[in-house]
A and B are shown apart, each in its own frame.
Chain A
């Protein structure tokens, strides 16, 4: 832990302080609350920018690690750290928070104090989720995120805000509960193998589970993350949440919250359970591609601009998901870049819709038309966001889509060591279908843009729309500048990400080539193979003895089970099938000895 790692802690704690501070502001003092919120958010952004200073771009692992014991009984640590992947996502979060606080100046006039506090707490949760290097800490932040978002939609939302907020929370909870159960399962298994009970991600990454167990664990994590992404067909909470959320909520929801799904796959689900990921990759790639096309088609027939953009997120996140499972460096970097770009362009689109909504209190395309002639400055900025989202080269969206498509196209036997098939079937066809997203994106986005901005000024009520105020220009400018900057100078971002991505791929493949055996640490022989000469004095022996005893008393392996080598007595649960999702069956023999030392 060096001095610089306190930067991470500061990024996390500043908004907390801000939130507390804001709650002391008297009820009527709206501007003071807004000022404190904006000031704290900007300060947080500057502090997070400072992380780039000590951050070493050449390292591939986690850096600036801040590690404090947190819950000793559980082995949970308060452990933060960044690598080349999470650093940009943290910056995206801290960048968007002041932008949306500024954008909400006129949109939110009720309960301003609470609104600012909710936004800051949300920022804490989001930054914490990206920084957490401890599964338990991650889970706490992950769930913490729900509360302010629930309030944002439920209090400052539109007409059906209650329905939308409950739907949002329930959807997410369903996924995350299974994830929690799986976290404990992994925790117990790791403890069983090493005798050390911890939720430290870096340590758990070394654990190799039997293949069937990996499949089930991956499924549980994948459900939680797929809902968050959201992957087709688990996406229907998204349009409702977006439509009902206030502009600020939509921007954060699309800009940052959706990234947690992809980030979760990248950081947790795939490294922890590579075999499960490999087994699921064909299905996931097809779902991702289906989502690209499906989201685009459905977006095209929306009447509500916000719904259209919400469905476009389904399409764009499909690209990110596809890039992830294609597992080539190009595709994964495309996926990460796509997340950043989507955060900016879609965030920008929601800001633009917010501008229209504040003026007209409707989001139906039919109500608009010819707005450009009244609001040319707005039109230009809106158009840049639209084109960035449609993937015009030179703007940010293109880089992500291009890398994803080309990376998927070349995915295949030549990118893998001998003997490993491509993770995804027919990568060229998948890439080609995904590339239709390029056409479809242009179709629905330009359709929307034409309906809103072009044509005659039919509606009388649009005749006196004021163009953007300086405050609104100040909201848009940083977003638009970054859309350009990412499109023209993507190298800075890509180069920082590359070592982490290469490490991800390398470790993924290395872990994948581990034998299918009882839980063991990577690089070490599985316990079953060295059973005849069990080495005394190793931490795992205590657990192993206990497990053996418990097992011997229960039953002999049924004759139909796998050969004994694959089903060693150490910690394998008494059934032939390796552990399913239920931790109780596996926990007692494993957890009991761990509690004693």
Chain B
């Protein structure tokens, strides 16, 4: 009960601001008679959302498609990022060969490759979107895990040395647990990037039942209420993915300063 009340008290100010903001938005749109191509009223957006939920523009099935692509990209980018981080962390020669390249590649705006990815993996295929999402996710995961594996307290390593621990034991008992909070930080960043990658990939073509396509096509049909509804659903999807990872983080590293005794957001 007290915990419930604490939670309510924690989120209440944000909730009040959100409701007041939406109310103000609605009021101003009506009072000033703003045109819908500039900014539709919240009620108009909600109406468009319900009318296009699973008929019309099919926003709900579209969200499922986009979520599938983003989640697939997140998994691909995470697996590759973790694997490369272990290789780079383990072998100095690999580090010298890969790390400067990885940093250079990261400076390229990867979303610019979206049309090419459509060519490579098929415009209608979800894999072209997963490729873009995965490429975006890869870098923060790789760099964060690498940091976690290598930025280990020197005294911890000395302690392990005094126990005559092997490199493998140090990896299992010190480096990997040390990398876990870094990994989860990378994963939280990755959820947002994966969704961006999937939606931007869709902008450049794909099946119509996908959030990026709904945004592009409704905007070109001047159905801006639908565009906004699709953006709203994209945002909610992103927040849900983020909260899922943040929840996993609380369970996985309850001892970490970023988690202990704190609310998720």
Same complex: no
List A residues at the B interface (Cβ < 8 Å).
none
List B residues at the A interface (Cβ < 8 Å).
none
